[in-house]
Structure 1
Amino acid sequence: MNYTFDFMSVFANWDRLLVGAWLTVQLSALSIVLGFVVGTLCAIGYKSNNMFLHAVIKIYVEVIRNTPLLVQVFLVFFGLASIGWKLTAEMAAVIALTVNVGAYTTEIMRAGINSIHPGQIEAAECLGMSKLHVYWHVVLLPAVERVYPSLTSQFILLMLASSITSQISAEELTATANLVQSETFRSFEVYAVIAVAYLALSFLFRGAFWLISKAAFVRKRKLGTNL
């Protein structure tokens, strides 16, 4: 083996990699928020008595969960462009990631909602709480609290999967790394640095979700339990 490692050529492009990492954070954060909203609404709709709505949500969840994310990204970016809806790479990335994580969030939130005992809802109604307050305080908040670890794991997986959007030229971390590699021809060094960067981003997101849990779940904080 006659290979000389040269990480300095990679670190010389730290500013470009930092911009790519920041775009990864932005794409992931926006997709997580939108995907959580989509997934929660779909989970609520799944329990409705409207059979048509139930069927539409079920088809959406099954189709998304059983097709590759890369295909979904291509469908949004290239497919919509072919019918006249041209989107920027970043917009297409957010839409595809939102649709993808929304399907997984639907199933996670559905499990959380199903874990709420009907007696708790009946007790809240007997206390004169409105349906909106019952659903918010008795159903949704406890449901999110119970499935929060699963949600955070899914959201971190989404952040890591955002690297796929480099295939449509979204200039996130992996796309920037590919450009740096094509210029420096230092494949091992570039992707070793990127692997460490994604590891750091994972810990960053975990820390952010931990802080959110401390702020949102007052009951667990008072009991001294951890998520």
Structure 2
Amino acid sequence: MNFTLHFESVLAESDLILRGIMLTIWLSATAIILGTLLAIILVALRNLGNAAVRFGVDSYVELLRNTPFLVQLFMIFFGLPLMGFRMSGTQAALFAMTLNLSAYATEIIRAGVDSIHRSQIEAGLSLALSRIQVFRYVVLKPAFAKIWPALSSQFVLMLLASSICSFISVPELSGAASIIEQRTFRSFETYIVVTAIYLVLALALKIILAWLGHWLFRRRVKIAPLVTIKEGIA
């Protein structure tokens, strides 16, 4: 079998590829920020709310974590207009990515919050801090320090899951690849290029998140050896 790769026609569509990359980065970054903020709110409601609120948060998390992202995307893009809520493909993609990420991030952050010892919470309450202040200043940052690697992995998965948004004609990287494939008829070469770009984006995001975690929680890393030394002396 004689088969030769020809990337010239694919690389000639570099402008379309670049626009797809920029839209993928924008969708992922915005969904990560909004999804994380929503997850923090949901965890706070679950911890500080009554039984009905906790049931509502748990139901939301289980619904989104146990249904396919593609189905959620279709429900938002095709279903909401029937209820009078019209949005573009990009808006629907961002909305779906934010909701999906928030459900997974809620469960990850909840695990970190549950790992905080009860004595630390009681110490905060004994200093006349409100429950919201205790959650913000005593619980949240140590919890994030513990679950940051797991949360970072979920962020990378969300970046890769953005490719599903091409199913509703969002011109992100996978959507751009589909257009290039139709124009050039070079399927293999197109997806080799796109695969390489996704790999670079995922690795770059992992490095950025690792650096961000080191910067945000560096004091915790520096204090830990001192605590160990004191315990050894005692």
- Stretches of structure 2 lacking an aligned partner (at least 5 in a row): 226-234
Whole-Å separation in 1 of the counterparts to 2:28 and 2:64: 18
- Stretches of structure 1 lacking an aligned partner (at least 5 in a row): none
Q: Give how far 1:123 is off.
A: 1.9
Q: Give how far 1:211 is off.
A: 2.4
Q: Give how far 1:15 is off.
A: 1.8
Q: Give how far 1:20 is off.
A: 0.2
Report the counterpart of residue 142 of structure 2 in structure 1. Answer: 142
Whole-Å separation in 1 of the counterparts to 2:10 and 2:129: 60
Does structure 2 conserve the Cα–Cα contact (< 8 Å) formed by 1:44 and 1:110?
no
The aligned amino acid for 2:142 is: P
Whole-Å separation in 1 of the counterparts to 2:125 and 2:64: 36
Does structure 2 conserve the Cα–Cα contact (< 8 Å) formed by 1:121 and 1:138?
yes
- For 1:107-122, what aligned pairs fall within 5 Å after superposition? 107-122=107-122
Residue by residue over 1:140-199, the C-alpha shift from the partner in whole angstroms, topping out at 9 and shown as x without a partner, is 000011000000000100000000000111110000000001010000000011000000
Secondary structure of 1:72's partner? helix
The aligned amino acid for 2:89 is: A
- For 1:149-160, what aligned pairs fall within 5 Å after superposition? 149-160=149-160
- For 1:29-68, what aligned pairs fall within 5 Å after superposition? 29-68=29-68
- For 1:129-208, what aligned pairs fall within 5 Å after superposition? 129-208=129-208
Q: Give how far 1:121 is off.
A: 1.4
Number of positions where the alignment pairs a residue of Structure 1 with one of Structure 2: 225
The aligned amino acid for 1:36 is: T
Q: Give how far 1:4 is off.
A: 1.9
Does structure 1 conserve the Cα–Cα contact (< 8 Å) formed by 2:44 and 2:135?
no
Q: Give how far 1:132 is off.
A: 4.1
Q: Give how far 1:29 is off.
A: 0.6
TM-score w.r.t. structure 2 length? 0.91
Q: Give how far 1:6 is off.
A: 0.1
Whole-Å separation in 1 of the counterparts to 2:64 and 2:198: 25
TM-score w.r.t. structure 1 length? 0.94
Whole-Å separation in 2 of the counterparts to 1:78 and 1:127: 51
The percentage of aligned residue pairs carrying the same residue is 42
Coordinate RMSD, CA, aligned? 1.6
